[in-house]
Amino acid sequence: MLDPAWDAAGLVTAVVTARETGELLMVAHMNREALAVTQASGEAHFWSRSRQRLWRKGETSGNVLRVIEMRIDCDQDAVQMIVEPAGPACHTGARSCFYRRIEGERLVPVG
């Protein structure tokens, strides 16, 4: 039974991966409303901690994430969304937010 382990702020971690490639695209957070609206609409919604409001991914950029499948982890404090992205997932324009490799103290663009 779905029973998310909401943290003290009422959130779970949301990990977004691309259906076609499996690539990790972004990490954000969901509250109860974001999860419900995502399930109802089929488009990824998050809780924006900085803006303290529900956030429909792509609401300004148009780069919505169509949710193909949702999974939850063993202790139900993290959700995976397998998506078809309409465009770059990152606000920088990168396909994935994880576009830099850590090398010691340096960050190097992923090839």
User: Which residues lie near a second copy (CB under 8 A)?
Assistant: 1-2, 13, 15, 17, 21-24, 26-27, 39, 69-75, 77-80, 90-92, 94, 97-102, 104-107, 110
| CB of residue 54 to a second copy, shortest distance in Å | 19
- The least distance separating a second copy from the CB of residue 64, rounded to whole angstroms, comes to 18
Integer Cα distance of 43 and 3 in angstroms? 21
Smallest gap from residue 67 Cβ to a second copy (A): 10
- In whole angstroms, the minimum distance from the beta carbon of 1 to a second copy comes to 6
Q: 75 with 82: CB under 8 angstroms?
A: no
Nearer to a second copy, 53 or 91 (CB): 91
Phi–psi pair at 34, nearest 5 degrees: -60, -40
24: left (phi over 0), alpha (psi -120 to 50) or beta: beta
C-alpha distances (whole Å) from 110 to each of 39, 72, 95 are: 33, 28, 11
